[in-house]
Structure 1
Amino acid sequence: MTDAATTANRPCDQSSISGLPLPDLAGFTHRWVDAEGVRLHAVEGGRPTGPAVVLLAGFPQTWWAWRKAMPGLAEHFHVIAIDLPGQGHSDRPHDSYDTHTVASRVQAAVTALDVPKYWLVAHDIGAWVAFSLALEHEERLHGVALLDAGIPGITLPEAIPTDPDRAWKTWHFAFHLVPDLPETLLAGRERDYVDWFLKAKALYPDTFGSAEIDHYAAAIAAEGGLRASLAYYRDAAESARKNHDALGRQHLTVPVLGISSSHGSIPDMAASIGPWANNATGVVIPHAGHFIPDEQPGAVVDALTAFIGQCPAGAAPR
């Protein structure tokens, strides 16, 4: 496995996706690590000796989804935001986007960054990966927080509603599964698609400005990003199967926080996860839609700080 420090010192033009801008966040450093042969991008900062908190984002975003929450978390924690395979400045492999395979790669990246045990916080597809990671690598976690996500085989509805008042939240699951058609319709129109997602699923459409929409659209349009984004959905059935296989062996025993929002996709994450976790609690963030870290970053920081602080491991070093 590539040494994290060596990889971090490579010039950015050797470590990033060609032509894709690399935004900086004050107080944080870009890192690239080898994770089972796939190079993943991470952004690291905060208190080096504080409890480690690893952040994962979902569709159609990148690590940048956490930029508003990261400075607040950095006051107390060692913060690491990771681009999943296919996201942002991470590699876009051509196969294996089931969440157990991706979780193994995320865990390999965290190990390469010399973090033995940590708190895992994840939104949307990131939460798909986080749930599978908790099933397979629970001994590496102090706890996990999952934000507004329909997790395959767990909280993802078995059927897509046809009621227009609800269908707009989940219609894309079926669309993304269709072979080739999404690529045909979306190639060259990534910005229009991303614009709809961010504005339709946020409670307040002006949450996202043009620069943010440009950033996420460029990441999906670059070097196989669209293919990789769709692959998570196309491998969702395999993710669900592996989740249920793992749950047949044991349920989650680490503390789990389900974070919902007043106008999100999953009204009660804790209740949805509860049957599979021995210690699940929940919180509902008001005045937010699906993109909770963007819409209410202060409330997210407060909820995570309270969650970590109330658990015995919360005061422990990483």
Structure 2
Amino acid sequence: MTDAETAANRSRGQNSISGLPLHDLAGFTHRWVDADGIRLHAVDGGPPTGPAVVLLAGFPQTWWAWRKAMPRLAERFRVIAIDLPGQGHSDRPHDSYDTHTVASRVQAAVTALGVSKYWLVAHDIGAWVAFSLALMHEERLRGVALLDAGIPGITLPDAVPTNPEQAWKTWHFAFHLVPELPETLLTGHERDYVGWFLKVKALSPDTFDGADIDHYAASIAAEGGLRASLAYYRDAAESARKNHDALGRGHLTVPLLGISSSHGSIPDMAASISPWADNVTGVVIPQAGHFIPDEQPDAVVDALIAFIDHERAG
């Protein structure tokens, strides 16, 4: 089935990826919106007229990565968690996974949801997209929070370290770039692969239970999810080129918050992005690995509320 046929079918009411369970979260509604020719899945809750906070997750997760933080945020904000193209119950186009193209689709989805200006919060590959979105649509953003991510062309290293104490955090960048081999090795073993990331990169191996691993593995195994997940890495060079082109026209002026963790991949997110932006602050979340929203959701919410309140007061 072509991308156009898939989108057409979903527009007639087939809103979920075939065979992939749709998880509900109390107080939130599932929505599907057109985003530059594909359909993106969003989970929407909180006061409809309140300030909007848009959440993006990374590999190997879906919007479900934010489930622990969303209820508290929704006490004050309209909260919209969006599955990126290829994630969860969003469409899985066959190409165009560079972060500027994806950012355009995310912005189209936010516009379709009736939001004119918003706070953007993003983790991992979601942060790749968020950085590019800020470069393209800075006027639509009140502020951006980026969690534990190296940004293509900005802070993502060109080479994978060979020191075993560091290599386990980034080895997959090179592996995902190899044509065909990851698909050959991972098809049918998605749960083993996803489980490794979730258990090893979290500070506590008990952060994710079997149901969590099942959910994320099923998303990657369903309807081109593996291909789409790998495509973000395979298009990273194009993402880097477009980021550099955009930064050649000027630095970011939107307020940025870099959220690091005590045991994450990027020791100081604020320092890593500060050369490219004029207004950067940072916070380090203790007792967390890479998956900060899952591991320390209350601390993440506290940091976000403090950031938003500070910027609104200024």
Q: What is the TM-score with the length of structure 1 in the denominator? A: 0.95
Structure 1 residues 8 and 192: alpha-carbon distance in aligned structure 2, compared to 1, 3 A threshold: closer
Whichever residue aligns with residue 46 of structure 2, its letter is: G
Describe the SS at the equivalent of 1:42. strand
Measured after TM superposition, the shift of residue 159 of structure 1 is: 1.3
Q: Are 1:90 and 2:90 matched, yes or no?
A: yes
Q: Distance in 2 between matches of 1:9 and 1:58?
A: 26
Q: How do 1:89-238 and structure 2 match up within 5 A?
A: 89-238=89-238
Q: Are 1:54 and 2:54 matched, yes or no?
A: yes
Describe the SS at the equivalent of 1:153. coil
Q: Distance in 2 between matches of 1:306 and 1:99?
A: 28
Which consecutive residues of structure 1, in runs of 5 or more, have no partner in the other structure?
Answer: 1-6
The percentage of counterpart residues that share the same residue type is 86
Measured after TM superposition, the shift of residue 312 of structure 1 is: 2.5
Whichever residue aligns with residue 187 of structure 1, its letter is: T
What root-mean-square deviation, in Å, do the aligned CA atoms of Structure 1 and Structure 2 show? 1.4
**Contact kept? 1:8, 1:30, Cα under 8 Å:** no
Which piece of structure 1 moves more, 168-177 or 151-160?
151-160
Measured after TM superposition, the shift of residue 50 of structure 1 is: 1.4
Measured after TM superposition, the shift of residue 313 of structure 1 is: 7.3
Q: Distance in 2 between matches of 1:304 and 1:163?
A: 34
CA displacement, residues 33-89 of structure 1 (integer Å, 9 cap, x when unaligned): 000001000000012121100000000000000000000100110000000000000
Structure 1 residues 221 and 9: alpha-carbon distance in aligned structure 2, compared to 1, 3 A threshold: closer
Measured after TM superposition, the shift of residue 97 of structure 1 is: 0.2
Q: Distance in 2 between matches of 1:233 and 1:313?
A: 38
Q: What is the TM-score with the length of structure 2 in the denominator? A: 0.96
In structure 1, the residue matched to 2:30 is: 30
Q: Distance in 2 between matches of 1:71 and 1:8?
A: 28
**Contact kept? 1:57, 1:65, Cα under 8 Å:** yes
Q: Distance in 2 between matches of 1:159 and 1:178?
A: 15
Measured after TM superposition, the shift of residue 231 of structure 1 is: 0.1
**Over 4 Å off, 4+ runs:** 7-11
Equivalent residue pairs, number: 306
Whichever residue aligns with residue 49 of structure 1, its letter is: T
In structure 1, the residue matched to 2:285 is: 285
Measured after TM superposition, the shift of residue 136 of structure 1 is: 0.2
Whichever residue aligns with residue 150 of structure 1, its letter is: G
CA displacement, residues 120-158 of structure 1 (integer Å, 9 cap, x when unaligned): 000000000000000000000001000000110111112
Which consecutive residues of structure 2, in runs of 5 or more, have no partner in the other structure?
Answer: 1-8
Measured after TM superposition, the shift of residue 9 of structure 1 is: 10
**Contact kept? 1:142, 1:313, Cα under 8 Å:** no
Q: Distance in 2 between matches of 1:313 and 1:92?
A: 40
Q: Distance in 2 between matches of 1:263 and 1:46?
A: 32
**Contact kept? 1:292, 1:300, Cα under 8 Å:** yes
Whichever residue aligns with residue 35 of structure 2, its letter is: A
